[in-house]
Structures are given as structure tokens and as C-alpha cells.
Amino acid sequence: MGVSLKDIAERAGVSLATVSNVVNGYRPVGEVTRQRVQRAIDELGYTPNLSARHLRRGRTGLIALAVPELTNPYFAELADVAIREAAGLGYTLLMENTAAERGAELALLEGAQRHLIDGLILSPVAIGREEVLARRARMPLVLIGEGVYDVPYDRVAIDNVAASRTATAHLVALGRRRIAFVGAPPGGDRQSAHLRIRGYREALDAAGIPFDPGLVVPTEQFGRADGEHAMHHLLSLDHPPDAVLAYNDLTAIGALRTLARSGAGVPDDVAVAGIDDIEEGRFSNPTLTTVAPDKRAIGRSAVRRLVSRIEGEGGPPMHVQPSFHLIERESTGPAR
């Protein structure tokens, strides 16, 4: 098989322990031996066997990032950041797909991969506060997003209420009065959807616009097709909206699609805004106004918090709240 420590030790004429010390500097090694060992390593092309190292150390060097959908560009972009950050800290990041299923989220929470990973970053959407509080596994856990709040774990999430309020206020400032919200959860889960609806209502209240429950459209999921169907429904109303805030960019893009097909003008007839700032929205027709969370900060903070905990950091749970900012594009832009 591969080259092992023993081969290096024999070649360099030193003990196993010395080679190990050269490799990971646990204890100092004399300059001459260090060089001899290093040369042997280079010549034989040695790389440590990770399974053995992990068995011995009790750690694997792997962390997982579990998201509800791999094909959602938001998570793909987040994963991209997280993978790089993890690599920089000497860890390898594993993508895990929960498919927004309760069972999958619970299983991960309780250590389904316990012997494979040292820690878990989870974006919970199907489980709630109680399930997380009832967790028995001890593996470090970092939560991202506002799916679950007020639990004793590190958490990284933007202020969804504020983000949504900002987007809604922008629509209000454009003079819109019948503002719909697309992407309410059907059952009652998806905490983040509730928060975004709250921000939406706060902005309406602040502007003195009465809340119309008929303008809040539940969706099964939060993809493009869901936005498409929801928009269809809104256009069929007696008094269709003059603006739409979508749960995320994907549903917003679905809504844009329906509007285009129906011949409605965007933003003239209906203004549309999303949340997430996925690249797709910079190239859609029309381009999509959105609230951009600081994805770099989210991905990096989540990985850093997790690695800190894995490496023994104690202390109370921390809540990191990255910033966000509104990006105005054509979908709410001045009428052309």
C-alpha cells in the first residue's frame, strides 16, 4: 500500500516517534535529524494516513454542512464559501442534503454521522426549537438561518425580520399599496418564513397600510415553480397586487415568469422583490431587486464557530448576525 511512517523511519534511520514529531511538531526535533527525515519524506512521497490519525486522535477533520436543498443557488453559493474557509482551517467540508425532511434533520442532529464528522452546521427548516433542545448528541453544532432560535448552540443568521421589513419598505416607498407576500409556509413550520412575514407586516403597519391576509400566499416549497403558481393565483384575484415580496429569490423568479407570460409589466404593473441575492437575479429579465445577506460572512462565521467549538472553545453560545443590504434592480426600478 502507501508509504507509512515506518518506511520513513527506516529510511531516515530514526524512530517512528521522531518522524511523527517532524510531521506534526508535537515535540521539538534536532535540526540535522529533521532535515534527514524531511528528505526521506520527500523522496518516498509520504502523506499521513488520515484514518489512522483520526482513530488515534478521536477526530476526523471532516465537518458537514447540511442544507435543505443542494440545488438552491443560495446554498450552493454558501457552500462554496464554507468549503474554502474549512480548507483554510485544515478541515474538509461535506455537503449533506436534508431535503427539508424532518427525519433527515433529526437524524443528523442526533449524530447520524457521528463517527464520520467532528461537527455539524445545520440549516434547520423542518424541525423546531423543542427538537433541538431535546438533542442528546454532544457533537458540536452550529445553526444557520433563523429556522430555530433561542437554543444553546452557536447560531449564524441575518435579522430576517429587518431584511424583510427593508424590502417591504422599499416597495412602499415606490408608492405601492397592495403588496403581496409569496411563500408563506403551508403547515406552520419554516420559522424563517414567519419572521419574513412579520417584517413585511411591520413595514405595512409603519406605512399605515392595512394588512390583507388574502395577499399572503402559502406555498408548498420555496422554489421557482412555487413562485410561479402563487403569482398565478394572485393575478386571478379581483384586485391583484401592485407589488410582490417573495420569501426568496427563487420564488421571486417564479413570480417574474408568470408575470412575463401574462403580459403584466414589471415593475410598471407589479413590482417584485426577493431575498438572497443569488446570481441568477442579476441576470433575470427584468433583473431582480433583492435583499443581499452577507453570504461570505455567514459561511465563514459558521465554519469558524464550529471549528472553535471542535477545538475545545467553551463559553456561552454565540449569536453572529451578519449584515444585509438592499439591492435595487429593474424589477422595482423606475418605470421605463
Could you list the residues that contact DNA (CB under 7 A)? Answer: 1-2, 4-6, 13-18, 20-21, 23-24, 26-34, 46, 48-49, 52-53, 55-58
Q: Pick one of DNA, its own copies, none as the site partner of residue 171 (Cβ within 5 to 8 A by kind).
A: none
**What is the nearest approach in angstroms of its own copies to the Cβ of residue 192?**
21
Q: Are 299 and 255 in contact (CB under 8 A)?
A: no
Residues between 215 and 234 that touch its own copies (CB under 8 A): 224, 228
Site string for its own copies, 57-86 (x = CB under 8 A): -x-x---------xx-x--xx-xx--xx--
- β-bridge pairing 179-184 and 154-156: unpaired
Decide if residue 297 touches its own copies (CB under 8 A): no
Site string for its own copies, 95-134 (x = CB under 8 A): x-x----------------xxx------------------
127-142 burial, b for 16+ CB within 10 Å, e for fewer? Answer: bbeebbeebeeebbbb
Q: Are 16 and 56 in contact (CB under 8 A)?
A: no
- β-bridge pairing 179-184 and 216-218: parallel
Cell numbers describing residue 75 = 446554498
- Measured in whole angstroms, the distance separating CA 272 from the mean position of its chain's CA atoms is 23
Q: Pick one of its own copies, DNA, none as the site partner of residue 191 (Cβ within 5 to 8 A by kind).
A: none
- β-bridge pairing 119-122 and 62-67: parallel
List, in order, residues 6 or more apart from 61 with CB less than 8 Å away: 50, 54, 90, 91, 92, 118
Residues between 136 and 195 that touch its own copies (CB under 8 A): none
Using DSSP, state whether 92 is helix, strand or coil: strand
Q: Pick one of DNA, its own copies, none as the site partner of residue 257 (Cβ within 5 to 8 A by kind).
A: its own copies
Query: With CB under 8 A as the contact rule, which of the stretches 19-27, 45-53, 162-170, 193-201 interacts with its own copies?
Result: 45-53
**Contact set with its own copies (CB under 8 A):** 1-2, 47-52, 54-55, 58, 60, 70-71, 73, 76-77, 79-80, 83-84, 92, 94-95, 97, 114-116, 224, 228, 253-254, 256-257, 260, 279-280, 282-287
